[in-house]
Structure 1
């Protein structure tokens, strides 16, 4: 996912100015057990849903996205947004397994091999 954005707060130093960020987005789905096919979720469906939830963010200046107005789009906030959208997809049955059979989702956004953040949420 490639985005542009600026961050508010002195803690962000020069990232307070408009800048670009490229993230590799990983989604991990958690279940207490494998289903009858021996999987947690269908990887193909999960990949499709991940692509869908990123579609309106990729190649955008997040400062201009109306739904993110007033939101400090830190890596952690973006990971939470993606996790919440994937949770919605799970509750809609779009992952090939009922959401009540999943216990959680973890989304990691990696900017490099030394800079990343993750967000975990229950389902």
Structure 2
């Protein structure tokens, strides 16, 4: 009976997936926070569906900022998904367009976090994977 409860607990712990991985401290004051799971959305407006999958990591300065990010995950994910869904094909398929998307996401995240917690928190957005299907 005891082993059955242990197996059940182990199985349940494997099913639960976190919204983001733990922050990784790069230096005494810089933290990298991977946004997991990856962002998958359609883009490009009406017509044939086009898909985009983006893995990204947020860079913040200070342990307090890392905690704020962890607390604001739903807001952050919403802002990112909405921004990705509004992109046009030219932004998605070119390197300069992808850089524009990265800068836009940084700007809208900073604005949203400024409104929500009183400071921009995120210092950089890093794409670790960028896959599109058009």
Larger RCO (CA under 8 A, 6+ residues apart): 1
Structure having the larger proportion of residues in helix? 2
Q: Give the structure-2-normalised TM-score.
A: 0.45
Structure having the larger proportion of residues in strand? 2
Q: Give the structure-1-normalised TM-score.
A: 0.48
